[in-house]
Structure 1
Amino acid sequence: MPAESGDGLDRVRAAASARDLTIEIRERPVANSLPEAAQLLGIAPAGIVKTLVVKRSDDTFLFALVPGDRSISWPKLRAVVGVNKLQLPDPQRALDATGYERGTIVPIGSSHDWPIYADDRIVGQRIAMGAGAHGYSLFVHADDLIAAYGATVADISQEAG
């Protein structure tokens, strides 16, 4: 059963506060695509970072943070993680792993602190990402997020398409 929007937002705020991470949460109309969300927020699609929950073969997970105009490079991510197999879980497993529904997933306030792998293209950027609830976006300085969670920074993306 999905959490109420306030629950997700409250978890995000509490987790950010616990790590002294400065975030800004903005309400926005529901978007039907990432480019539409970027337009609503007045930023480039690359400024929205997709938080992807990735399942390992041992049934543990990780977060991959990828710029909105790019996609995961599976060979690059597998090499950085040091495994032969990774996959995207179905929506229910993603919810079970994070406490967030797809489209709202963010490492901040996740029900489990899975390791974070951030694409090196987000370094030095103020980024937007899911906020734990539909109809909201979270803004954070990527470097602060990376530091607060001890994320691994590497080239893990490729051109979308």
Structure 2
Amino acid sequence: MNRAVEAAAASGIEYRVVEHGPVGSLAEAAAARGVEVADVVKTIVVRLADDDYRFVLVPGDRVISWPKLRALLGVARMSMPDAATAKAVTGYERGTITPFGATTAWPVIADARIRGRAISLGGGAHGVALSVGADAAIETLQATVADISDPTD
């Protein structure tokens, strides 16, 4: 078990670990996990200020709406940290990031479209995913739920 799986287990959430080989795209990840692209939920780290980050959960078929997210958080600017900074503030490499077991429990914001679904999140290591109920994950992670995404182009 890795830190993300251990944290999911410790939280009491019902989960399933899905291990798969290397994937090169979101569509490949969905196929390897046996889910639709929309059910692969990306965990994106955003930076509001020095040492102030958020985990943002967005369905795989959507992208962050920066105007909606800025309005929700009441900020004029935010950015995505580079890969090294993201790893430093979460403990996870890009492509493996999850709020479960992160080195800092940054606040979580979930797009409203994940509610009521079974979702697949990064599992803390390449080729590892956590399948969970979105509503249970929202509750466990004490996530703020809002419309913060737009369709992909």
- Give the 4+ runs in structure 1 shifted more than 3 A: none
After superposition, residues 1-12 of structure 1 pair within 5 angstroms as 9-12=1-4
Aligned 8 A contact 2:119 2:131 in 1:
yes
Note the residue ranges of structure 2 that are not aligned, 5 or more in a row.
Answer: none
Note the residue ranges of structure 1 that are not aligned, 5 or more in a row.
Answer: 1-8
Corresponding residue number in structure 1 for 2:93? 101
Cα distance in 1 for partners of 2:49, 2:92 equals 21
Offset, 1:17: 2.5
TM-score, normalised on structure 1? 0.91
Cα distance in 1 for partners of 2:152, 2:18 equals 27
Cα distance in 1 for partners of 2:34, 2:6 equals 27
After superposition, residues 82-121 of structure 1 pair within 5 angstroms as 82-121=74-113
Offset, 1:20: 1.2
Cα distance in 1 for partners of 2:4, 2:113 equals 24
1:59 and 2:62 are equivalent in the alignment? no
Cα distance in 2 for partners of 1:34, 1:71 equals 12
Offset, 1:10: 2.3
Cα distance in 1 for partners of 2:2, 2:93 equals 15
After superposition, residues 11-160 of structure 1 pair within 5 angstroms as 11-160=3-152
TM-score, normalised on structure 2? 0.96
